[in-house]
Structure 1
């Protein structure tokens, strides 16, 4: 029904946060409807709100819906420390962010850009005093040279050590949360790249057939809940697997691995 905007249990969800984010989106889109503007939509890779609304619209619910991090394919990108980077430009574009907040955001964005450049560009060679000090502290050989981004990914390295090694002009006025965000980007970069490739792999296998004899219960990496959803739907191809309500990204990847590798061996009953 056009012009009707709802939030909360009537949409099949449970939980205060779930209702609150739906209320926010309902309010925005109700205003857009009155102004005869198109819908405001957040994508799955942009926000957990996008994950929730996409799940409800595409899959529906057969039990009260709660939003867990496991439902998000891009959860390494959907961190609390970078929520402003992801969503402030969106809020500004629809008139929900004031000028002073926008100015603060842009100042922070400039600081983070300089900080990330420093983490990637600050390099210490084996001959430097800093290299010797860090190598001794970690009791490890660090190769011919290392950048601060590379150092941040090593076990035993904390924020205080990275901060001490930053150029002085970067350290002045640097806030703890700004460094935490930049370091998280560095530490998760490799995992995010793998996550993006995994998502791309999943999206390119929609035509893959599911044999009639395929036994989902034989896949050791699936929970009982996921097995029940798959067996109830009996999908004929991977596109249908992806459309099953409530199937987690992890379950999708597990099923895809076994479909491309062949039917798993049945579990033997003891």
Structure 2
């Protein structure tokens, strides 16, 4: 079968996305070529049935993939991407999942005629519950946009932005956001323990409550604010707790500061 996709880098995120593409049937293993210098990471891609190699020079000379997906750390983007310059003739679209690396960087390396897609995924993509946000430069065809969106949907929800400048905000909200939720679970667990609950029970209550509330918010069709009001009785226990969290917009202000700090750091990393 013709190679449709080259995956450059098969670390945690690259492997998670690759697994989703194959398990969903959106790509056959024989249509994917994985380039990964680390033997352990390369071998796990091979167990999925994909052709693998330590470097880009081993990709068949007659290959014209639809996509080259760059799934490596931002620090090595330039060196890694340059190895795929032979595909930069306009027929292949490059997809990057590297944080903070603008499309202009890839155009500089590959040439201004190269179709470029930037994608910001997050770690829940590993279980098919991710949030993928996509920006495409002017050269990406509508057919390719649909193909990329369909592939990414195997890992969760997909949405697009037209202004690449918003990708820093995306990074700060959904890219870094899982860490905020993990910390909230940690904090709620500590609070439960301090209220007298055993550690195992505190962890279970904190984790399942966050999971259940997020699932309800996603599936009910109601706005989160409406759901909050539904569970809040006047002068009840929930109202007492929300007065601490919502008084003077404490939690909103804290999260706004956190997101802005992450956004500014993303801007710095992209320079």
TM category, shorter: under 0.3
TM (norm. structure 1) is 0.26
Which structure would you say has the larger Rg? 1
Give the structure with the larger strand fraction: 2
* TM-score, scaled to structure 2: 0.26
